[in-house]
Chains A and B, each alone.
Chain A
């Protein structure tokens, strides 16, 4: 499974756009990129998943360059409630449930 590297923490302010980048240099051809969000004392929550280029849903956008060696989760106009840990996972779809969550990125949104 591809190893991922994310910043340990990020700070932002309400209303700003936040971009969290994840590096995955040894991503394999059949690997997908998935992002989860986790609040304290809760289980992770699926945010978005993609394979290449750009994916957008009602919560976030995911940008994946052509070489797929990195990806960027973009959260538009964050609010205080977006304060959480964000995990980037890379691996094949059929064994995605076995993906190991790393330490993630702790995002703190300030008023």
Chain B
């Protein structure tokens, strides 16, 4: 596809379970970002990838959150031992080369922790 895709679009899980969220950036984009957006709130930065490395992980809220990117393309955000406060829309974005390039966002994954 032409845009950023994310899966699943919706995820409902029970408190304490682990979840994996996937992001497929635009083909050829080397920079990838994860954000989360709580209901009615603005975006909160989580992590930035340049290629397969993450020069900025400063937004990850706790050590339950981790992310990886393989082959300079697909990225997975993993949340371990989910808590109710983790419920949010998790958005992924990519940009062509670097952090100053325009970001293109995916549709997001709505995570609900019961």
Contact = CB atoms under 8 A, between A and B. Distances in A.
B105 A43 contact: yes
Given A43-B4, A46-B102, A103-B41, A98 B108 contact: no
Given A87-B42, A102-B42, A103-B41, A43 B100 contact: no
Interface residues of A, number: 19
A44 interface: yes
A93 B98 CA distance: 10
A100 B107 contact: no
B37 to A, nearest CB: 8
Interface of A: 41-46, 87, 93-104
9 closest Cβ contacts across the A-B interface? A43-B105, A101-B42, A101-B43, A93-B100, A98-B45, A43-B91, A97-B99, A102-B42, A46-B102
